[in-house]
Amino acid sequence: GIPIGGDLQPSTYEAWAAYGSITWHITDRFDVEAGLRYSHDKQHYTEIGYGLLFGGVPPTVLLDKRSSDSSTTFSLTPTFHINDNNMLYARVASGFLPGGPNIVPVGVPNVPATFSPTKLTNYEIGLKSTSQDDRVMVDLSAYYIDWTKIPLTTFENNFTFLTSGGQAQSKGVEATIAWIAAPGLRLSANASYNDATLTKNAPYPSNGKRGDPLPYAPKFTLGLNGDYDFALGGGWHGYVGATYRYVDERSTDFAFSYPIAGVLPPLPSSPTIPGYHTINLRAGVNRDQWSIDAYVKNLTNQRGIVQASTFQNYVPVAGEPNPVTGKMEDNATIITPRMFGISVSRNF
């Protein structure tokens, strides 16, 4: 008999690029590297329905959408070697992220068929330094990024899609230090501060305003890492290690606005999700081709939130103060809970 219904989504993505770079050694301490890249991509998305739910056979093409983007990007990096262990650099570079088709049925109002590619220009200065005995390494950098047509998740007529969100900027600093504190003992730390905001109001139906923080961009992150390798005798070696990571609070997706004849008000602002931290532990022994490894991830079983949103249930709910909007619903995605394991492996 004829099946009740099914859905096929054959899609293709094609991309190619050509690039080249050249380095000019102006002096024995100063050089400049320049690069150029041209890229092109094509996307084709098709959705085919079949069965009784789609009018029987033959299969029916529900969606057939295409997009095509191309871009030329560049990089320019002057470098000054203070000595054999210290280097200053500056960099300006452009970037490109392809757009694509919006997977929304044809005819849905206020939904563009495609979303535009994202373009950015990055300005960066930094220092790379290594101690004379190669036991300490330090990287410091500061950056400013100018974004145009950033992709934003938005919502219209019960469909989620991407739209080009105007302009944004991101500026911050990053620092990394690594230290061989003793034979077999390696310690490292990295920290970053990032201030990413809209510089232009996001397009309808998003309520993102100039100055609003970009979704899911933490202002501060911190990572600490330690590993110790040691000999056990009899050809066996062991190791222990720990990693700590902290992620600051983040804003979620911008609120949406859906005026319907002045009856349906804008959705409230999406929530700010709190910061979280994780601790991972690891230990093991190995000899020749054999290894025994154990680990604990998220030792304190933190329920860190990585994504959250507020949705509106458009099915009227009895007793709700506004029967048109229905019930507000929150949902969230959290990090993997505490997990531990052990493995035995042999290399051949």
**pLDDT for residue 321:** 47
Chain segment 253-289, per-residue pLDDT in tens = 776 655 444 444 555 556 788 999 999 999 999 998 9
Neighbours of 83 (CB within 10 A): 9
Residues of the chain with pLDDT under 50: 259-264, 315-317, 320-325
Task: Check residue 98 and give its pLDDT.
Answer: 84
Q: CA torsion sign, 229 to 231 to 235 to 239? A: negative
pLDDT score of 126: 98
pLDDT of residue 103: 73
State pTM to two decimals.
0.78
Query: Tell me, what's the pLDDT at 56?
Result: 56
Give the tens place of pLDDT for each residue, 127-158.
999 999 999 999 999 999 998 888 777 766 66
Question: What is the predicted pLDDT for the residue at 260?
Answer: 45
Residue spans per domain, the chain? 83-346
Q: Which residues of 29-40 are buried (b: 16+ CB within 10 A; e: fewer)?
A: eebebeeebebe
What mean pLDDT is reported for the chain? 84
Tokens of 165: 């969100």
Question: Any idea which architecture 83-346 has in CATH?
Answer: Beta Barrel (2.40)
Whether residue 58 is preceded by a cis peptide bond, meaning omega within 30 degrees of 0, is yes
Residue position matching structure tokens 């068929």:
113
Position 309 scores a pLDDT of: 72
DSSP state of 256: B
Q: Is there a contact between 174 and 149 (Cβ–Cβ < 8 Å)?
A: no
